[in-house]
Chains A and B, each alone.
Chain A
Amino acid sequence: MTPTTAVAEIAAAVATATAVVPIGAGTHAEIGGRVLEATEVRAPSGIVDVQPFDMTVSVRAGTPYAELDAALAEHGQECPLDASDASATVGGIIATGLSGLRRLGHGPLRDHVLEVEFVTAEGKVARGGGPTVKNVTGYDVPRLFVGSLGTLGVITRVTLRTRPRPAASEWFETATAASVLRGALFAPTAIVRARGVTAVLLEGNAADLRAETDTASFAPSAAPTHPVGVHRARIAIDPAQLDGLLTALDAIDGLDSLAEYGVGTVHVATETVSGLVAARGAAEGLGGWMLRTGGATDLDPFGGTFPAVELQRRVRHALDPTGKFSPGRVPATETR
């Protein structure tokens, strides 16, 4: 596919700049370390091609999630990316690795990205992966870009796998323990616990939803909301350790949390930096880690554990030898 004029302009800008930061809608711009003094580039917007029979969509990275979702809805399809802020761009969601609350049922974001077009550090337009739903041609470059936080290149276009929108979709509150629900239900789309309340999202055939919710104490409910606070973070932990972590988090004064069972992601927010520090201690004590996503500007964005850091540094250096992409955002693997 021929890159657009806008992509050629980005490529030219990247080729000559010493520091570059890709910007989406800025909805998650606080994730990671602060990027200083870099040329801002914005990927073009727009749906390139919807292929409902192949269940794929090619979309420019600057397209807002809401626009992608509306285009797919016309064909009764969707792509289950994080929808917590519909103004976020597709490229931004991919760069920040946000899978959304439906990850338990639909898998992580990285499993939906089939192809990625990006501007390299040298200002070339390159492509990884391919447009088909199944592909092992060459190295899995698309997965590498998911969650790369703008450190490898400027994502300009992606091809995503789509799926049929479910016939029925409903949240339920339940008194059954979250840890029990996973075995009790066949394929829940989400099991979460927020503010002491357990909720499940069931999707699929309406009769199946009724049958599964008749057998226990389920009550229809609104979708759970993300924690609110000045200082925010996302914990990733072995899902088998979640009950233990939540016991520790509940003991932290003023900490609001939303935990994804079976996945191991816990979104936390608080009004005090000390609350986040305590949450990080609890997570790291159980083998997990915490990514600061907002506020708490003096807090290390990643914390104490950074696995395979030397290899990560080498990979980043290989794609960005002068360290021009998003300098400061991931200090541990900084290459200059």
Chain B
Amino acid sequence: MCFPSTTADVAFAVTTANRFAIPFVARGSGTGLAGGATPLDGALVIVTTRMNQILEIDADARRAWVEPGVLNLDLTRAVSHLGLHYAPDPSSQQACTIGGNVGTNAGGPHCLAAGVTSAHVLAVEVVLPDGTVEILGGLAPDAPGLDLRGTFVGSEGTMGIATRVCVRLMPDPPEIRTMLADFTAIEDAAAAVSAIIAAGIVPAALEMMDAQATAAVEDFVHAGLPRDADAVLLVEVGGLHGGVTHDASAIDAICRDHGARTVRIAADATERALLWKARKSAFGAVARIAPDYYLHDAVVPRTKLVQVIRQVYEISARYELIAMNVFHAGDGNLHPLLVFDGRTPGIWERVHAAGDEILRACIDAGGVLSGEHGIGLEKRDAMPLFFSADDLDVQARLRDAFDPDGLANPDKILPRGSRCGELGAIPDGAWV
């Protein structure tokens, strides 16, 4: 393990790994949930947390150069006095690094309107797997040739290590309205989500918590959430006065039309912060129920949300597990949470089996394997559920172009056999 302070240090570490043919793994704060930063087989772990300086802020051009170890929330804090913020806001934003966010192409509640990390990375300085340094992307809107910046973002350390990142900063909206609507049936809450979208409104954020999650969070945060609700929606709109007023009143009406008992509007910044604290504390709150949880991340078409949530409940009940759902309803990004006590004999097998069935249910509903956490180790072997052998072959070739020697975070993302003709390749026409 090493803790570089500069780009040159990272390049030296990578070059050294090359010289001894040792695999290397980039790591930020280690908050990732898919095991992308987990070292295997004696790999050299290159931890970027000491590279934690914000190098340059250009308020007029609304961008900043930062080192990869800068914490997500620290960046927003550093620019808030300029009326700016960094939009991607994972629930782990107090702990996760910008470098890790780039590695996983991280999301967050406010990515519904603002887009995920890739939409906020203008340029990235990368130590490539052979130790050379390149800047991918740039300050100009398009670089000549291929968008390698776009390929690198979300590559989970398999295409090199980010050493400096130029991020886009967004202006704070002049007005924000944050609303909490509570429903006695989760179907009604989901119907309200669809109706909001159908009305031509894309809120800044549109989050849902089911009954179990709402009760757990309320016991933990005391934000005044209705403990007896079947589901609550947290909806935020931001922008100029006219649009915010129009959208907020339309959302209020839509929620009530779809059976909301109450629609609470945050009266001030303190109440707004409390509602968001409730949402972002959900994963901490489950510790009050049981010591361990397995958090999933999959996206399904918005129209299939209720169907898949029902399946999640059914599958968890069958494996005698508690399931909770706290998720980005606006973009169909589900986060089923299986809560358990890892000391129970045989529990891990049940948790994994249930997780596998949940993933298959999401795919069967027309969904994808991951919305924002990444593939890493966790979902590597599920890739053939979603991609054909030819699809995986293209991805393997793309990866090999960046890392011909296969030392950059090997055995992540792509399952063995992804390369066409590789031992164990899935034959054409095989059922996968």
Taking the complex as formed, is A273 at the interface, i.e. its CB lies under 8 A from any CB of chain B?
no
Q: Using an 8 Å CB-CB cutoff, how does the interface string of B136-149 with A read, 1 for contact, 0 for none? A: 10111111111110
Find B390's partner among A126, A151, A236 (CB 8 Å cutoff): A126
* Closest residue on chain A to residue B383 by CB atoms: A138
Among candidates A54, A147, A164, A236, residue contacting B200 with C-beta atoms closer than 8 Å:
A164
CA distance A77 to B198 in the complex (A): 10
Tell me the bound Cα distance from A15 to B360 in angstroms: 34
A132→B370 CA distance, assembly (Å) = 10
Residues of A within 8 A of B154 (CB): 136, 139-140
Judged by a CB distance under 8 angstroms, whether A316 is at the interface is yes
- Contacting pair B299 A204 (CB below 8 A): no
Q: From residue 150 to 193 of chain A, which have CB atoms closer than 8 A to chain B?
A: 151-152, 163-165, 167, 182-183, 186-187
Q: Are A305 and B370 in contact (CB under 8 A)?
A: no
CA gap between A211 and B239 in the complex, in Å: 13
Q: Contact at B331–A133, with CB atoms within 8 Å?
A: yes
Cβ of B146 and Cβ of A312 under 8 Å apart? yes
Q: Which A100-120 residues sit within 8 Å CB-CB of chain B?
A: 103, 107-108, 110-111, 120
Name the residue of chain A whose CB is nearest to the CB of B379.
A137
Is B246 a contact of A136 with CB atoms below 8 Å? Answer: no
Asked if B67 CB lies within 8 Å of chain A CBs, one says no
B148 touches A103 (CB 8 A): no
Provide the bound-state CA to CA distance between A291 and B241, in Å: 41
Q: Most chain-A CB neighbours within 10 Å: which of B146, B302, B368, B388?
A: B146
Whether the pair A319, B394 counts as a contact (CB closer than 8 A) is: yes
Q: Is the CB of B155 within 8 A of A148?
A: no
Determine if B144 and A307 form an interchain contact, defined as CB atoms under 8 angstroms apart: yes
Query: Which listed segment binds B: A33-41, A62-70, A237-245?
Result: A237-245
Are A312 and B145 touching (Cβ within 8 A)? yes
Would A137 and B368 be within 8 Å (CB), given that A52-B198, A291-B144 are in contact? yes
A126-B394, A308-B136 known; A186 vs B240 contact (CB < 8 Å): yes
Partner of A53, one of B135, B145, B197: B197
Chain B's nearest CB lies how many Å from the CB of A191?
13
Output the least CB separation between A261 and chain B (Å): 11
Partner-binding segment picked from B38-46, B72-80, B114-122, B271-279: B114-122
Decide yes or no: A53 and B303 within 8 Å by CB, A120-B390, A139-B151, A139-B395 being known contacts: yes
Please, which residues of chain A bring their CB within 8 A of the CB of B368?
130-132, 135, 137
Q: Residue among A103, A110, A130, A265 with the most chain B CB within 10 A?
A: A130
B202 at interface by CB-CB < 8 Å:
yes
**B413 is an interface residue with CB less than 8 A from chain A:** yes
Stretch of B255-263, B311-319, B396-404 on the interface side: B396-404
Residue of B nearest to A165 (CB): B200
A126 contacts B388, C-beta separation under 8 Å: yes
Contact B155 A139 (CB under 8 A): yes
Interface residue? B28 (CB, 8 A)? no
Q: Which residues of chain B have C-beta atoms less than 8 A from A22's C-beta?
A: none
* Interface residue? A314 (CB, 8 A): yes
Partner of B115, one of A107, A186, A265, A314: A107
Q: Is A317 an interface residue (CB 8 A)?
A: yes
Please, what's the 1-or-0 string for B280-310, where 1 marks a CB less than 8 Å from any CB in chain A? Answer: 0000000000000000000111110000000
Query: In the complex, A332→B143 CA distance in Å?
Result: 13
Q: Does A91 contact B (CB under 8 A)?
A: no
B201 x A164 contact (CB < 8 A): yes
Say yes or no: A148 contacts B144, CB within 8 Å: no
Q: Mark B25-38, 1 if CB is under 8 A from A, else 0.
A: 00000000000000
Residues 148-166 of B contacting A (Cβ, < 8 Å)? 148, 150-151, 153-155
> What is the distance, in angstroms, from A194's C-beta to the closest C-beta of chain B?
17
A289: which B residues are within 8 A, CB to CB? Answer: 140, 143-144
B401 touches A137 (CB 8 A): no
Measured between alpha carbons, how far is A183 from B61 in the docked complex, in Å? 10
Whether A132 contacts B144 by the Cβ 8 Å rule is: no
Chain B residues positioned under 8 Å from A126 (CB to CB): 388, 390-391, 393-394
Inter-subunit contact A127/B105 (CB<8 Å): no
CA distance A313 to B408 in the complex (A): 20
Look across to chain B and name the residue whose beta carbon is closest to the beta carbon of A125: B390
Q: Which residues of A contact B342 (CB under 8 A)?
A: none
Confirm or deny: A250 has a beta carbon within 8 angstroms of a beta carbon on chain B: no
Using Cβ atoms and an 8 Å threshold, which residues of chain B touch A207?
Answer: 241-242, 246
**Does B373 sit at the interface, judged by CB under 8 A?**
yes
Taking beta carbons and an 8 Å cutoff, which residues of B are in contact with A? Answer: 58, 60-61, 104-105, 107, 111, 115-116, 118-119, 128, 134-136, 138-148, 150-151, 153-155, 171, 173-174, 194, 197-198, 200-202, 239-243, 246, 299-303, 328, 331-333, 366-375, 379, 383, 386-388, 390-395, 397-402, 404, 413-414
Besides A264-B139, A319-B398, 6 other A-B contacts (C-beta < 8 A)? A120-B394, A127-B391, A144-B148, A208-B239, A315-B148, A332-B144
